[in-house]
Amino acid sequence: MGTNDYILGIDIGGTNTVFGLVDGLGNIVNRGKLSTRNYSDFESLAFDLAAKIKALPLFSNLKAVGVGAPNGNFFSGSIDFAPNLNWGEHIRVNEILGKALSLPVVITNDANAAACGEKFYGGAIEMTDFVTITLGTGVGSGIYVNGNLLQGKHGFGGEFGHIIVEENGRLCGCGKRGCLETYTSVSGIIYTVKELISKGEKTVLVDDENLNGKKIEQAAISGDAVALKSFQITTEYLGKALANYVTIFDPEAIFLLGGLAQSGSLIFDNTKKVMEENLMKIFKNQVQILPSQLPDADAAILGAAAIAGEALNF
């Protein structure tokens, strides 16, 4: 990519759609925001988005558009069956945005976007084999193999949050039981705390609608036994799952991001310990577990821009 070339990154979320113009070094030189919920169809959103973007002074330097969205599919160029967007089953993002902006558009899901962001602008610039795992409301993952993003045959690759880690375990939103994300997401750790409270274990935490990850973290830091145990259980599941991941992929590093990853050593230390305990000798002490190196506020836009960089070989 030339030094005067820019990529537009668009992150479509259930609440807001944010965008930014990104230069080759990962600086966001211009940014904007629309309220996703104000639009009853994607065409109207695309129309307003295009108007804002075309008005930018650097519009003529734009080379491509990358879009990150829940359930964004690289191969179909659409958002398929997104539970938090009420615009129909298949939203033809590439076609509609491409027409509105007269630029090539590339889309993928937000978990893959996070991995692309890390590869292009974050901690994985020099890496060929790594994964980013987002421990948020759910668990998402984006996987690089041999320098390329793993999309899978149908564009659904990388659903690491939905590997089954507990036979007949917790019911997952996907319909299966015992998926990793039911234990290692923010929702998962809240569920764990509620279970421990229901068993009568003593804690400062209260089982009500205000219980959240931050409160559990705070309680753990002040030594609350239930909060500490909930992190123990979470990292036990995560460490074992990562050991299996390493056994298959032999990566250089694993990046943890999202809400739970903000809890720092409460998450990282025991996850690493459990992972190492469950590895074959050849894999031991080979794989780093790292926090994302992208600035939190910019991660979504940088990830979206990087999708286009990845697909178009910038």
Sites of contact with its own copies (CB under 8 A): 81, 127-129, 143, 145-146, 148, 150-160, 162-164, 174-176, 240, 243-245, 247-252, 278, 280-283, 286
Specify the residue, 59 or 283, whose C-beta has the smaller distance to its own copies: 283
Tokens of 263: 């809890």
Least Å from the CB of residue 76 to its own copies: 12
Specify the residue, 164 or 312, whose C-beta has the smaller distance to its own copies: 164
Least Å from the CB of residue 118 to its own copies: 15
In 3D space, the residue among 135, 131, 142, 231 whose CA is nearest the CA of residue 185 turns out to be: 135
Rounded distance between C-alpha atoms, residue 36 and residue 87, angstroms: 11
Specify the residue, 101 or 149, whose C-beta has the smaller distance to its own copies: 149
Specify the residue, 175 or 200, whose C-beta has the smaller distance to its own copies: 175
| Lateral strand order in the sheet of 90-91 | 72-73, 78-80, 90-91
Least Å from the CB of residue 62 to its own copies: 27
Least Å from the CB of residue 81 to its own copies: 8
In 3D space, the residue among 74, 69, 71 whose CA is nearest the CA of residue 155 turns out to be: 74
Specify the residue, 137 or 244, whose C-beta has the smaller distance to its own copies: 244
Tokens of 26: 């990962």
Contact 70, 110 (CB under 8 A): yes
DSSP string, 261-313: GGGTHHHHHHHHHHHHHTS-GGGTT--EEEE--S-TTTHHHHHHHHHHHHHTT
Least Å from the CB of residue 141 to its own copies: 8
